[in-house]
Structures are given as structure tokens and as C-alpha cells.
Structure 1
Amino acid sequence: MTRNPRVNRYLKDKAMDHIDHALGRPVDPMGETYRNHFATGADGKDAKQFTASPNWKKVGQRDDMLFFAVTDVGRKALKDHLKAVGDPWQPYSVTWGGHTVVIAAKSIGNAKYSTYLDVSDSYSELKFVDFAREAKVRRAAV
């Protein structure tokens, strides 16, 4: 499990959205990510833009596909963009029943409820009020 959870977001800036997608949409683009690749047609518009950008480096080609990885410059650009647009996602550590998980959420309450939904699949008799009383949530470092 990575301590840099993924989020479900879409960025209006297409260049930043491509970087976010290539990294697997992590909470912290500068942290460890579970992936770092983007495949595109070798003759396409994206391939030309990626080749000319310091945010990308070409890492391979297979047939008519080019493969790119996000550079440290690209990671920093995404981090700055997320800050500028006020991205609400943060990592939270939720502890309950002797187990701790790190999840992405928009608030402490959202982190607690999201974790409750995950565990209530296995503990069908668990009520949210009981979970909320026992669970401990804090902002996590990535």
C-alpha cells in the first residue's frame, strides 16, 4: 500500500490532467506513485507536445505507440497547479479496530465516512455512529 493515495479527479487544464493521469492521480505528485507512464500515438498531437515539453521524457516506442514518463519538472508543475486551483484532496490516516489506512479525502469527516463505507461491507452490523465514536482520523504526511 502506498502512503500516497489516489483520487478521482479531472483537471480542466488538459496538459496538467495528462500529467495527473500518467502518475495515477496521486494526492501528492511529488511523492511515490504507483505508476508513471503515458502511451500515445507516435504521429499524434500529444506525442509532438510531450516531446517538446520539459514535463515529459520519452521512455520507449513500440510499433506506432510512443511511451512517456513524467519528469521531476512535470511533477512540480502539477503540484503547483493543484495548489493554484485549490485542489481539496488531502491524505488522512484513519485508525479503527487496530488497523490504520491512509486514504484521500476532502475533510476529516469525509475520510471517516469513506472508511466506514469500506469496512461496513465486512461488518454489516456496524452502525456509523459507533464507527465514528471509535475511529481516529488525522491528517497524514505523504
Structure 2
Amino acid sequence: MTSNPRVNRYLKYKALDHIDHALGRPVDPMGETYRNHFATGVNSQEAKAFGVSENWELDGLVRGMVYFSVTHAGRKALSDHLKKIGDPWQPYSVTWGGHTVLIAAKSIGNAKYSTYLDVSDCYSELKFVDFAREAKARRVAA
């Protein structure tokens, strides 16, 4: 169970969307993330912009690709932006059938429904109304 689940979001501000993408789109950019890299062409616009930004650190060059990682300043900029725009994604713990999962969702109901979709393939006779009645969900501190 990861302590910083990923979300499916797109940010309109492209510079911050690149940071979000590099980190794997975590609920909490300041927390531990499963990845931290962005690869782009050596002569690309991204490489030029990242090279002069405090939000990126150059990691290396391999076969015509340049690799960057997000700095603490970049994580902080993304975190501040998500707060500013009121990003609705939060971590939720959902327990059902003796198993607990940590997922990103926009509400307790959304957390239960997302978990139901994950388990319903294995339990084809399970109806959402029954799952929702049995499952316990709570918001987890980020």
C-alpha cells in the first residue's frame, strides 16, 4: 500500500503539469513519490527551460536524451499551485473484505466507487449498493 497514491489530473499551467508528470502525479507532491524524472530531447524547448529553472536539476545525458529531476523548490511550487486552484484529490483509506487500500479520490463516495470498480471484476455478483454498505472509507492525512 503506497502512502502517496497517484491521481489522474491535467494542469492547465504546462510548466507545473510537467513537474506533476515527472513526479507521477501524486496526491501530495511534498511526500514520497514513486518516480522523479523527466526525459526530453537535448535541444528541445523543455530542456532549455528546465536548464534555467530552479524547479529542475539536470541528472544526465544518454543517447540524445537529457534527464531532469524535480527539486524541492519544484515540489513546493506544485504543492502551492494545487492548493491555490483547490485541487480536489485527497488520499482515502477504503476497507472491505478484510483488505485495506489507499487510493486518491475526490470524496468518500468516490473512494468507495473507485475501489468497487477495482474489485468488481473478481466479484461479478457484487452490487455497488452492497459494497458501499459493507465498505468503510475515511480520509487519510496527507
Question: Which category describes the TM-score, using the shorter chain as reference length?
Answer: over 0.9
- Structure 1 stretches of 4+ with a deviation exceeding 2 A read none
Paired residues for 1:42-121 under 5 Å: 42-121=42-121
CA contact (8 A) 1:2 1:32 kept: no
CA contact (8 A) 1:4 1:28 kept: yes
CA RMSD of aligned residues (A): 0.8
Q: Partners in 2 of 1:50 and 1:121 — Cα distance?
A: 42
Deviation string 1:39-89 (CA, Å, 9 cap, x unpaired) is 011111111110111100000101221100000110010000011111111
Shift of 1:138: 0.3
- AA matched with 2:47: A
Q: Partners in 2 of 1:43 and 1:66 — Cα distance?
A: 9
Give the equivalent residue in structure 2 for 1:8. 8
Q: Partners in 1 of 2:130 and 2:44 — Cα distance?
A: 54
Instruction: Give the percent of matched residue pairs that are identical in Structure 1 and Structure 2.
Output: 77
Paired residues for 1:12-27 under 5 Å: 12-27=12-27
CA contact (8 A) 1:24 1:33 kept: yes
Shift of 1:136: 0.5
CA contact (8 A) 1:94 1:138 kept: yes
SS in 1 for 2:67: strand
TM-score normalised per structure 2? 0.97
TM-score normalised per structure 1? 0.97
CA contact (8 A) 1:93 1:101 kept: yes
> Aligned residues, how many?
142
